[in-house]
Amino acid sequence: MEVLLTGGAGFIGTAIARALLADGHTVHVFDRCSLDRRFTSVPGVTSVIGDLRDPGVVAVALRGVDAVCHQAAKVGLGVDFADAPDYAAANDLGTAVLLAAMARAHVRRLVLAGSMVVYGEGRYDCAEHGTVPAPPRRVADLDAGRFEPRCPRCGAELTPGLVDEDAPADPRNVYAATKLHQEHLASAWARSCAGTAVSLRYHNVYGPGLPRDTPYAGVAALFRSALARGESPRVFEDGGQRRDFVHVTDVASANAAALASLDDREPGSFRAYNVGSGEVRTVGDLASALADAYGGPAPTVTGEYRLGDVRHITADSRRLRADLGWRPRVSFADGMAELVTESLDSYARN
């Protein structure tokens, strides 16, 4: 297929481009940045430099395209709520312009980069009341070092579990809200245009090409950058936050599998899939594994917090495995060992 890959010059986009090329697709990368050395003289790759909010440029990029793999987004928690217009412009408006152009160009296949952030907190079970929603985090609790959510009905400790795709959405920061809105737009587009759309809800993606330590970088990149400076990774809260760290090549293979599945789907359909490794780890585990692989220094647990963060969010990826036959290939231990030997790229963003 002729595939338009938005955000294809970024961290995840670059890995997806390689996976699509390996499957025999022709890849047209749409990004605000040039491809630089990543795909210089690589057969099967062309590039368009532009802004997704520009309908004219997007229309040109869609000529002759069979499918779109939409990775372009402003990512991360952000600095504060003043970032909201930038997130909405990049993620909501950019996606709306793209989908409108796809409707006009009669492009009917879409794979969307979703995110686990649409769930807010993960699944929690109370011994007395069963599965319950985690209440909003309170500043007074966090200031006192009480990080674990309590049952909203009886106040008892909760047991965290795996969240599946049928869990209710509860976005708890601006980025999360825009990622959920992207899914709603994609679903509306599919119904209106008889298209087929898949959203891949990535969990914490890491691997070669992670962005440098910026306010928008993921925690693995921040820890890795600190170690490279000879500093201890700074672990917020008590380090017990549960996450699912999934390697970027596994995310790329999930995109390739989703793309291959589109022709077998009912026109007008939208389907979401979690993309996680299936290995539950804590943020403290991540910091320790990186520090050990790098040879120190050891992590520092700070007790600091960000109100927009969630305590526990880990994936149940059985739907993706069952429907598409996808399997993660890179273990946490192997991925951490690889990460400390790789330089972090200043250009990689998504």
**pLDDT range class, residue 43, cuts 50, 70, 90:** low
At residue 249, the pLDDT reads 97
How many domains are there within the chain?
1
143: in domain: no
At residue 209, the pLDDT reads 82
Higher pLDDT, 65 or 215: 65
Structure tokens at 338: 């690889």
When the pLDDT of each residue in the chain is averaged and rounded to a whole number, the result is 91
Least confident piece of the model among 186-200, 216-230, 242-256? 216-230
Instruction: For residues 46 and 4, give the distance between their C-alpha atoms in angstroms, rounded to a whole number.
Output: 9
Strand ranges (DSSP E) for the chain?
Answer: 2-6, 26-31, 45-49, 67-70, 109-115, 123-126, 130-132, 159-161, 196-202, 204-206, 234-235, 242-247, 269-275, 280-282, 300-301
Cα of 243 vs its chain's centroid, Å: 13
What's the rounded mean pLDDT across residues 212-238? 84
The answer to whether 3 touches 28, Cβ cutoff 8 Å, is yes
At residue 193, the pLDDT reads 98
Which one of the listed residues 175, 202, 305, 347 is annotated catalytic?
175
**pLDDT range class, residue 214, cuts 50, 70, 90:** low
How large a percentage of the chain has pLDDT more than 70? Answer: 92
Per the structure, the complete domain to which residue 28 belongs is given by 2-122+163-341
Structure tokens at 2: 């002729």
Is 87 considered catalytic here?
no
Kindly report the CATH number assigned to the domain that includes residue 112.
3.40.50.720
128: in domain: no
At residue 234, the pLDDT reads 96
Structure tokens at 97: 């312009």
**pLDDT range class, residue 348, cuts 50, 70, 90:** very low
141: in domain: no
246: in domain: yes
151: in domain: no
144: in domain: no
92: in domain: yes
Cα dihedral 257→258→263→268 (10° resolution): 170
156: in domain: no
- The pTM of the full predicted model, rounded to 2 decimals, is 0.93
Structure tokens at 136: 């909003």
At residue 80, the pLDDT reads 77
Coil, strand or helix: which one is 48?
strand
Instruction: For residues 331 and 31, give the distance between their C-alpha atoms in angstroms, rounded to a whole number.
Output: 30
At residue 216, the pLDDT reads 53
Higher pLDDT, 228 or 114: 114
pLDDT over threshold 80, residue 254: yes
Q: Distance of CA 274 to CAs 182, 240, 312, Å? A: 16, 22, 15
pLDDT digits (tens, 9 = 90+) for 156-194: 999 999 999 999 999 988 999 999 999 999 999 999 999
